[in-house]
Amino acid sequence: MFNLNRNFLFSTTANCLFFINFSSFFLLPLFLDDLGFDKSEIGILMGSFGISSILLTPITSTLIDKYGKKILGTIALAIMIVSSLLFIYIDNFYALFLLRIFQGLSFSIFFNSSSALASDNLDDNNRKKGLSIFYSSTIFPYFIGPYFGEIILINLGYFYFFIFSSLFSLIAILILFNVDSKNINTNNEIEVRLKDFFHIINNPDSKKFLITNFLSSTGFGIIMNFIAIFLKDKSLKAGLFFATYSVIVTIVRLFLSDLISTNKLFIKVLIMLAFFSISIFFLPFTENITHVIIFAVIFSSTYALIYPFISSLLVQPGNENSSGRLFGALNATFGIGVHLMTFVFGYVIQYFGYARGFQTCSLFILIFTMIILIKEVRSDA
């Protein structure tokens, strides 16, 4: 039991450090804006992160199950370190696009690896609570990365900002070395096949969870990718939003996840998602720091439990041999929402403004959420 807890702790800590590196790049639009790129180009560069992450996930998640979650995670961290540092020397659009592709590859490998490592080492009875704790490690970085990253780039410049960001992945490698990646529940005689990844996506029970995950990540993505430059245009800093978001989501995931029973859990997730989408609709009315805090609290509290609860519904006990591919499917839909939909709403923002972009995204999420909710309530009746 000590080894299981130890592995979960190290996997969660390494994931937290990786996400500090990852989340600091939500400030990348500021760097790109200073280089003279317009909003559509910024949208392309921010969204390009998801291209390799999504397209390579079927392959990378299969390799994770086949060759080991620890070794693939280490490789991913090394890629993230190198690609983050190269931003210091590159300002060409196409070269920056390539760097974002490599960062997406790193994300695809590492997040699936660390998620599977943590999940494999959770007791079945603690899976919902354990995954809520694990995904808290993806939230606190949104305070460390953007908040302190913004301070560093304002006072010291982008050179030290990119060094600051990459150091966290370096520390994560050192921690990941201490993880015992051997899973006592794994049956090595089970064949690991790429086509099983697509069977997961086509499974009717899995599909509704994956679509819901896509909808929530779409809203998450447009806010995280555009809020820094949106607030900059209003002479407001984004650091306070990220700090509030990090604190609220961490508290909710650590202390409130046990208060929600598993009875009709998916319906509860859909209700959370509906209120989450509504909060995005009112973001364009933000005019001062008080509005930023109010939005951050509502946005954070409604989003906090969606992802971990969907994970606990999708990844069931006893599937350690396919956990890499299960999390791969989950994170692929997350990537589609966060990154590819940034292309779509980036163009809406470019040509119609922030208000139309945020509110169109809000209505898109709300309409499909209500369709799924109505269908789920009817089938549950």
Highest mean pLDDT among 6-20, 311-325, 336-350, 354-368: 354-368
Expressed in angstroms, the distance from the first to the final Cα of the chain is 41
Which residue reads 């209120």 in tokens?
Answer: 275
Whole-angstrom Cα distance, residue 47 to residue 38?
Answer: 14
39-94 confidence digits (pLDDT tens): 778 878 887 887 777 888 888 887 887 778 888 899 999 999 999 999 999 888 89
Q: How confident is the model at residue 357 (pLDDT cuts 50, 70, 90)?
A: very high
Share of the chain above pLDDT 70, in %: 89
Q: What is the pLDDT of residue 192?
A: 60
Domains of the chain with bracketed CATH: 2-178+195-380 (1.20.1250.20)
Whole-angstrom Cα distance, residue 46 to residue 68?
Answer: 30
Q: What is the pLDDT of residue 56?
A: 80
In the 3-class helix/strand/coil scheme, how is the chain assigned residue by residue?
CHHHHHHHHHHHHHHHHHHHHHHHHHHHHHHHHHCCCCHHHHHHHHHHHHHHHHHCHHHHHHHHHHHCHHHHHHHHHHHHHHHHHHCCCCCCHHHHHHHHHHHHHHHHHHHHHHHHHHHHCCCHHHHHHHHHHHHHCCCCHHHHHHHHHHHHHHHCCHHHHHHHHHHHHHHHHHHHCCCCCCCCCCCCCCCCCCHHHHHHHHCHHHHHHHHHHHHHHHHHHHHHHHHHHHHHHCCCCCHHHHHHHHHHHHHHHHHHHHHCCCCCHHHHHHHHHHHHHHHHHCHHHCCCHHHHHHHHHHHHHHHCCHHHHHHHHHCCCCCHHHHHHHHHHHHHHHHHHHHHHHHHHHHHHHHHCHHHHHHHHHHHHHHHHHHHHHHHHHHHC
268-299 confidence digits (pLDDT tens): 999 999 999 999 999 999 999 999 999 999 99
Among 48-62, 96-110, 149-163, 215-229, name the one with the lowest average pLDDT.
48-62
Q: At what angle do helices 239-251 and 289-303 cross, to 10 degrees?
A: 30
pTM: 0.73
Q: Which two tokens stand for residue 353?
A: 């403004």
Please give the average per-residue pLDDT across 322-343, as a whole number: 78
Task: Check if the beta carbon of residue 366 is closer than 8 Å to that of residue 277.
Answer: yes
Whole-angstrom Cα distance, residue 204 to residue 224?
Answer: 30
Q: What is the pLDDT of residue 263?
A: 83
